[in-house]
Structure 1
């Protein structure tokens, strides 16, 4: 990663008429300072302490926007200040309101300091009554907006309500322009910071909070550094991701703190055919020394990963209370290859669902298990997740330690998990998986029947598997495709029953337990 460097020349936004009174709209003053700094060859634009109300800010090449401690950029709730623009929504071209902070095709840019960037996100987003306390709900209703007919959902406006209930699309079709979506403008929530096609980018020290949708969204950027920043959104923030690194190359995320309403550190690369046409993977990334509190996942890949992801290294990260820890998700139709992912020294506490999670059925519901088992033709829309290693993983509290669910036509393959201690309700569930190795893993589970569930999975190795004494059932093995399963260097006497077989699992052919 090559970090940006800047001239020492500094322009104070006060010199362009900005006022820190929380009431004056400073959009023109701040943007004028950025442009002036760029024209002088670059340098630093200084935002001193104060409450600076502003509309959208457009970054400039060779300029470091520096917020002193005590400085808050508060983005106006006046939605007329945000132009309709062509952007992206979950990997596809879409009409959006202009982001509070944006930059396109820039080089050598930064946002640094110890200040706060606040997107005023509550004016953009809907919220369900169940997501708030009774007092919070009363205040929300009293603030304006409109309610759904059942009185359980609050919308910012009638326009937002209409677009939501009619499921209007924000995706830009053939021949359409952003202005064609004016009738649903209020519904087109902006991401807080969007950087598109930029090189040598640094975000450091800043608190980014209250985004209308995603918080930080670098897209097709190179040489990207996020260091010691905080992203913060309410837990009810719909699409309130912390940072979505999409189709970026050569990046570092270190020392960051995330407490958000959706996925925290998320890797993406476009969605479905549009993402495959773009064909730009997210690659060559280091994610280290980060802490995640609330979030749907601590470190996440997908589900929009149609351009692929590779060569990612995650280490020394702590997840405290996230829904899932390491989360990998996709679905048929995405395509893309996710491979060469390495994670070590991952520490988790009070995970709501799964500590380690792979699922190729994101947002898919089935009438029966038989419907899920239907094998489909492998094509460009088949997602592939393979060749990963996780080691030194500790989890204190989760529903499931390891959950892996691939596709019948494309199992999740060649994943090694080594040196783990997982205190969870359930142990391991492997469904449509191949080449999974669990080595030196201690599963301290509340449920003891079974510790390991295998469903139509093959070429599995369990080496030095540890589990509770007096376990009722160690393995439950189902499915005709379950084969070549080995358990070595493991005390089998602690289990009352070693294995049960069902749903056509070929017990006689498995040779499940081998000599130590």
Structure 2
């Protein structure tokens, strides 16, 4: 008896030790997993221009094939504009453009804008030239339309025109750069140029004209469209690094029809400026945007593919774009696709970004006549704080700009101008504070399709007030704390809520559905065991 009792005690002790060791291993594994998750979710100290490392880290985990981008290389030939007679507070336009041409013709090099306050009209970059802005240098650009003559080939909101171009412009060049720690300023905030309309409607009624006749230079009674800040067009191997931009007139950085573009460590401050987009990538291929800080009057980071019929004619998509370790602060959208989508937008990968105070975190935009396919979009390892809406699908627009096309019904015929949005993957994220989790208005004749949102922690006041016209929408492996417990759906098909932990009022979830096309609304593996009510009302 005693012997058996000792044996039993030893066996118990053995199993208890094994159990304890297993428990410790599980705790250790859980801690390691939490630490790994903490490493992937960014903080304010790991994103933006202040966090930029000295070199580009290779990207290996992007979900599509894209060649590694490298810095353009320039000859060891440096020219300082002060040494060539430039004087502060006097226009340097002619001298700078002459020096750029000379350096380019001699094989390339660096043109240095030294510390000081400089004023200029349009600067035109040429192949193999690095325009280097020293720390302490400030260039203020002119508000006189004549300083942007002659008109140059450019685009305005996705439509090709002849116009001012940009403060710093290039067309058809290779191996160009704008680098340094200097500042670029637009004209004073009270300049009359800021009161001139930049409405794209002024172009859209001129499509029958040849591009060379679409002139918007402000001369002889013609309209003037404000220049962007930096806009290379049809260029290859472009680097923009380290600079700060303030007081833009229109979009800040807008590479168009370019290939192999690197934008890193750039700071943009355009808060309160209408159409003050930060970085707008238009119809470009192979683009890396990293460690930038945007505080903008419109979208912070945007992907665009040309507008309406003109964009279809050009037929150039934006494809292969990586946006990583970037900070979006004030702005309409943190990362936005569209609304110009005619040539298509595909293969976009965002990793390690932070949205702090942005109106909308991740924003999908198009309109009924914008055409094109927006697809294969991936967003990982991000954090949102104090955003109004975490995710929006704004595919119809407002009646103010779109008229009756903004009305959901009646259904319109599907044509070549009908845009399509599909194949969106969102995972591994934290939403610390949002007013609304999702606001989605799709196009009823061609619903947006195949969205997966997974592996995230969410704190939101409202859940999903509007979710219209979609097919195949999955939300899984989420932790959601919300003050409201309602999801409103119109003509949604194949919605799956799977393995979601809710902290929700009264432990009740209400899903209100309407529309003849509604089907397959599934909820499973919800924790805790909350009450779920699905109400169908075609008269809502």
Please tell me the TM-score bracket, short chain as reference: 0.7 to 0.9
Change (3 A) 1:59 1:156: closer
Give the alignment partner of residue 206 of structure 1, picking from 236, 243, 248.
243
What residue is the counterpart of 1:486 in the other structure? 522
Shift of 1:427: 0.8
Q: Give runs of aligned pairs for residues 314-353 of structure 1, distance below 5 A.
A: 314-352=350-388
The structure having more radius of gyration, on CA atoms, is 2
What residue is the counterpart of 1:114 in the other structure? 181
CA distance in 2 between counterparts of 1:180 and 1:103 reads 17
8 Å CA contact 1:67–1:112 kept in 2: the answer is yes
What residue is the counterpart of 1:45 in the other structure? 111
1:94 paired to 2:145: no
Change (3 A) 1:177 1:402: closer
CA distance in 2 between counterparts of 1:393 and 1:385 reads 22
1:28 paired to 2:94: yes
CA distance in 1 between counterparts of 2:397 and 2:503 reads 32
Q: For residues 96-135 of structure 1, give each alpha carbon's deviation from its aligned partner in whole angstroms, at most 9, with x where no partner exists.
A: 33421100000000011111111226355xxxxxxxxxxx
Q: How large is the RMSD of aligned CA atoms in angstroms?
A: 2.6
Larger RCO (CA within 8 A; separation ≥ 6): 2
8 Å CA contact 2:217–2:225 kept in 1: the answer is no
TM-score using structure 2 length: 0.81
List runs of 5+ in structure 2 lacking aligned partners. Answer: 1-68
8 Å CA contact 1:117–1:207 kept in 2: the answer is yes
What residue is the counterpart of 1:64 in the other structure? 130
Q: Secondary structure at the residue paired with 1:399?
A: strand
Shift of 1:75: 1.2
8 Å CA contact 1:476–1:499 kept in 2: the answer is yes
8 Å CA contact 2:99–2:111 kept in 1: the answer is yes
TM-score using structure 1 length: 0.84
What residue is the counterpart of 1:178 in the other structure? 215
8 Å CA contact 1:86–1:177 kept in 2: the answer is no
Q: Give runs of aligned pairs for residues 32-431 of structure 1, distance below 5 A.
A: 32-83=98-149, 84-120=151-187, 122=189, 160=196, 168-169=202-203, 173=207, 174=209, 176-178=213-215, 182-183=219-220, 187-235=224-272, 237-352=273-388, 354-364=389-399, 372-428=408-464, 429-431=466-468
List runs of 5+ in structure 1 lacking aligned partners. Answer: 125-144, 146-154, 506-516
CA distance in 2 between counterparts of 1:476 and 1:369 reads 26
Change (3 A) 1:228 1:444: same
Shift of 1:486: 1.6
Shift of 1:404: 2.3
What residue is the counterpart of 1:136 in the other structure? none
8 Å CA contact 2:268–2:296 kept in 1: the answer is yes
Q: Where does structure 1 differ by over 4 angstroms across 4 or more consecutive aligned residues?
A: 167-173, 183-187, 365-371
Shift of 1:396: 2.4
Give the alignment partner of residue 14 of structure 1, picking from 77, 82, 88.
82
Number of aligned residue pairs: 465
Shift of 1:483: 0.6
CA distance in 2 between counterparts of 1:72 and 1:439 reads 50
Q: Secondary structure at the residue paired with 1:4?
A: coil
